[in-house]
Amino acid sequence: MGPLWKYIPTRLWGFSGHIQTIIHSIIGRVKCPWPLGERVYLALTDGSTLTYDLYQPLINGVEDDITVAICPGIGNSSESVYIRTFVHYAQCHGYRCAVLNHIGVLDSVQVTSGRIFTYGHTDDYSAMINHLLKKYPTTNIVSVGFSLGGNLISKYLGEASRPKNIIGGVSICQGYNAVVATQWLLKWQNFHRFYLYVLTENVKSIILKHRHVLLADDIKQRYQLNERDISAAATLPELDEAYTRRVHNFKTLKDLYSWSSSLNYLANIKRPMVFVNARDDPLVPDTLLNPIREFTNSHNQSLYIELANGGHLGFYEGGLIYPNPVTWLDRALVSLIGGIVMSHNDLLVAKGSLTTTVI
């Protein structure tokens, strides 16, 4: 293992997945830059207002035109600190970045239809990709997803034929199977119910923040919604029963979770894919990792990277107490994107559609 891939967690607390996860949730990243970009607004056919933030590369002279299309985790956006850190780091390496803002998350953007984001709805990400290709028709795209976003980009790439400009994807810390994941998070051991409570309150707060639209009388009547049931929901399954399943027209929660799970779409992905997980991730129990281990062993266009430590989206490294500003995950992601680009270019050379100059 070379120095780029070597991971040495912050010594005092970096070997605890719980502490890594909690610090990531509360603090995010240290000395986090705020990258400058432009916000793009899209009016979708269902009446929703979708936004994504676009950031240009910070160095010139990069030969390849690459756009990193980022899908954040549940309740996150371009304003989340871990997203900002990665975007800035990717910009410094010559990549354009586009970050999807999940509908309902940003306080500054009003919800204009009867829905917000959900676990398996990939149309929003697809709309961002299509708009990017109108702006930059010759760019190559690498899809990157964090947690829920990892599930969404994997499902997106496996659902149907996708634009040829997408040359690969990287998924970080997703759970792959929402049916099994929910069952595990309902258990009390290893603080699973604590994390489930936090996730539930996060989604619930988004719904209630936009209640004047999402819980308007006509919407409640159309989907048979009860605001008291939504407010009283103590777990995601309860909240999904009271809200998500109804709005997205599923008969049962199991139907919703099966439809949402990327595991059911992985075999149809036609692009190189990298999956990254940590064994001490308290939100993704080890049993959820067996299917991706088996899948990548039998599919030669996929790579699975599993670390002993890192928690959920943490991967802090260096130092005794204070970690480095850039995490192992930031470094590894930029390296993986570069590897996908190099592999794509090598394939084009082999096919004779790309020429190389030797100096």
Q: Tell how strand 140-146 and strand 38-43 pair up.
A: unpaired
Q: Kindly report the number of other CB atoms within 10 A of residue 233's CB atom.
A: 20
Rounded to the nearest 10 degrees, the angle between the axes of helix 192-209 and helix 178-185 is 110
Q: Please answer whether residues 74 and 148 qualify as being in contact, where contact means their C-beta atoms are separated by less than 8 angstroms.
A: yes
Spell out the SS3 assignment of 315-334. Answer: CCECCCCCCCCCCHHHHHHH
Q: Which residues pair with 101 in a beta bridge?
A: 51
DSSP-assigned beta bridge partners for residue 145: 71, 171
Q: Pick the catalytic residue: 147, 171, 261, 302? A: 147
Residue 24, CA distances (Å) to 115, 323, 346 in order: 28, 12, 37
In the residue annotation, 154 being an active-site residue is answered as no
Separation of alpha carbons 88 and 56, rounded Å: 10
Q: Which of 53, 240, 280, 281 is catalytic?
A: 281
Q: Which residues contact 336 (CB under 8 A, 6 or more apart)?
A: 170, 274
Name the catalytic one among 24, 102, 312, 344: 312
Among 304, 301, 295, 305, smallest CA distance to 344 is for: 301
* Residues contacting 189, CB < 8 A, separation 6+: none
281 included as an active-site residue:
yes
Q: Which among 173, 154, 9 has a CA at the least distance from the CA of 76?
A: 173
Hey, which residues are catalytic here?
147, 281, 312
